[in-house]
Structure 1
């Protein structure tokens, strides 16, 4: 949207959060609240955003600077509000950084679920030089500014709760805390604000009455969605908003055909793409970018992050599939019909082919397993290339780190690795070879060979165990 600039107020301390962390950095769906607001703004084509910081300013600014997370499609500036003297005072700090030839959206950094569609409607209502405010009717409007209209229904003012008369407090239509202001008028109105009110603050909402006095049209854009305009002031409010958001995500997935065992016990903290007939049991968490192919089943209490899981695969309960950044090749890949878990861990760079089995308490990191390979119990595969149909025994590990560098283990097709083996990388096991249980392998093994690397068993007959004596106790 051409000529659109945005101010995001994020200076508040959030005393009721009872936390050293600045309020806007508290997470909802795995991301800081203020980041959700900026994501909504990103869809608008804004040319500039000014974030007003105050309490914990250094931490907030560091979390949002380039390189601190996902890139933003607009110029981001910061303005400091110290001390914090109200919403009008906050926007006064941002005003010198704003052009005067467009529309300025003023938003709150602690209202994380505002949608781009609503913001677009708000900005459009002010596109001809009007002032637009976002409103919502509440059954209990206590604490909110009231929208005062005249006999013809035109908006005349916003009166804050503490300054409202009994008649004004009976009004159910409230200020949702966001407005769109003509840039050419903003600085003049801000200069006319005063703090002669119950809270001794400079209210941004007072510019509504100033606009009316100046003959500028004031329009109300009304929403009925209390969740998208809900602010967060306490851990309880944050938790309630988290559950409302997660329920909406769960409902969208179920409408698309995903079977959730219990939508109240589901958490999505990123993006999730699902094919047909996907089943997800209770207590699962999805983070980053995850795709589930047709017929995938996710067992109870799994954490799946940055992963591509192909059709027919099963992730059994209590497994942790934790990929790295998708754009850097760290995503975990699980092939068709593969079985993972329970209690398995797949780390960044794990790539499982079709019909691979990864069993309980098996960890795979930066390793590729070809079709039909199996590691069913208590094993570690790190920095390894594993061929087809390999059977990797319980308790076996790749010793991939020499204290300075990581090294790779290559296991050919049809290799059998016995239990409790250590494969000291770099090492290659030839196709069809066998490693005897308990062996420590430090040299390459030929194809088809049996490798045994362990001490010879000695049995001492008539040996007696030491007996604890009374004195020894």
Structure 2
């Protein structure tokens, strides 16, 4: 049985008060629409149709890689009208169509999979819930035996119907052939003069097609986002999900409420994460890794036993086992650190490799460098890798000692075991095993007096 998924993503999102289309706002580092597309993929959708409207070009470009089919709803005349626009793109050969919404990002694949199974190509299956405040949701109207009779929109409901606690989430699964016929027959004789998809419930009942509503326990799964406040509230829900999943795996979080995962975080055994850590993109932490407070890791891999001290920023970098990073360290894209490397406070490493046991403990910069084993790179030392037009590489051999406050003007090579005297500016290769010093001769001027301010 084929599965179509239709995702409604045409709305303007006026209450977001943003130039960005609502479905492209981010939750946990991923757009709202992409979350829903991921859910569709999670239930094995054979065809996914995204209905766009406001900001259609921007929306379609943003999720083009998903392989979805796009149809446009212009103007937007209600949810039923949106499905009318999508209908020609649906495969109706023994198929089920699942209706999802681009601003309802936390729906779980398991939940909609159960809804599709309940439909089974023969019934109309609805997802309902019982919120603390039913507000202006459409009410599920059941008969005396509990069967679903219809859905009434809040604006069209009587006071008795508004008192109903069970409401419709907007998510449904229907036999595709029937759904196409039903939406073609929709009328807009209602308070909003829109085509309501909910009207298909009464059509199904009239035709004797069974209608069932499955109640979802977690209201967050069906919560829509209409403004910045709701976006922030669901962000915390999502982060609680991440935190609980990590702790179930054995990760120790100093405070589950102060964690942000904006991508994928994979952790080994006995990982410890302090407060306010942010993980973006693809991040992997090996066994026994410790992440200090207020660190940001983006697209990084950290080896077993490494300690990342507070306020460090690691992006596009690979760190070996047993390393010490920070505090206040910055590893930029292309940084590859081997086992037991030490990077201290206010040290920046970019597009450089550092071999086992190399150390840069204070106030230093390594850019476009190849650093050998057991190198000691002094405080204030930098590689001058940019000549104003091109980048050049610095090669530092094994067991090199670079004194404090040195400038290595690339391209330059320091041979194995070389020592560079503090304060040197090195523009030529330094031979292995030798002391190289390049600095101006010190002079003292007798009788010199310091200038004073004129009064």
TM-score of Structure 1 vs Structure 2, range by shorter chain:
over 0.9
1:131-183: CA deviation from partner (whole Å, max 9, x where unpaired): 11111122321111111111121111111111111121111111111111211
Task: Tell me what 2:438 maps to.
Answer: 453
Give SS of 1:263's match: coil
Q: Deviations over 1:48-102 (max 9, x none)?
A: 1111111111211111113xxxxx3xx4111111111111111111111112211
Q: Find the aligned partners of 2:129 and 2:452 in 1 and give their Cα distance.
A: 82
What per-residue deviation string (whole Å, max 9, x for no partner) do you get for residues 332-367 of structure 1? 221222111111101112111222110111111111
Matches within 5 A, 1:131-146: 131-146=124-139
What is the CA–CA distance in structure 2 between the aligned matches of 1:404 and 1:221, rounded to whole Å? 64
For residues 381 and 123 of structure 1, the distance between their equivalents in structure 2, rounded to whole angstroms, comes to: 55
Q: Is 2:284 aligned against 1:295?
A: no
1:387-411 deviations in Å (ceiling 9; x for gaps):
1110111111112223333222111
TM-score of the superposition, structure 1-length normalised? 0.93
In the other structure, the counterpart of 2:230 is 237
Unmatched tracts of structure 1, length 5 or more: 67-71, 324-331
- Which TM-score applies when normalising by structure 2? 0.97
Report the equivalent of 2:193.
200
For residues 416-427 of structure 1, the aligned pairs below 5 Å read: 416-427=401-412
- 1:188 is displaced (CA, Å) by 1.5
2:333 corresponds to which of 348, 352, 371: 348
Which secondary structure does the structure 2 equivalent of 1:5 belong to?
strand
CA drift at 1:303: 0.4
Q: How does 1:42-81 map to 2 (within 5 A)?
A: 42-66=41-65, 72=66, 75-81=67-73
Determine if the alignment matches structure 1 residue 190 to structure 2 residue 183: yes
1:407 is aligned to 2:406: no
Residue number among 112, 117, 122 corresponding to 2:115 in the alignment: 122
Mean alpha-carbon deviation: is it higher for 254-263 or for 18-27? Answer: 254-263
**How many aligned residue pairs are there?**
454
Distance 1:184 1:251 in 2: 41
Root-mean-square deviation (Å):
1.3
Separation in 2, partners of 1:150, 1:358:
69
Deviations 1:192-238 (A, max 9, x none): 11111122211111111111112222122221111111111111111
Q: In structure 1, what is the equivalent of residue 79 of structure 2?
A: 87
Counterpart Cα distance in 2 of 1:264 and 1:100: 46
Structure 2: unaligned runs, 5 residues or longer: none
Q: Aligned pair 1:147/2:140, yes or no? A: yes
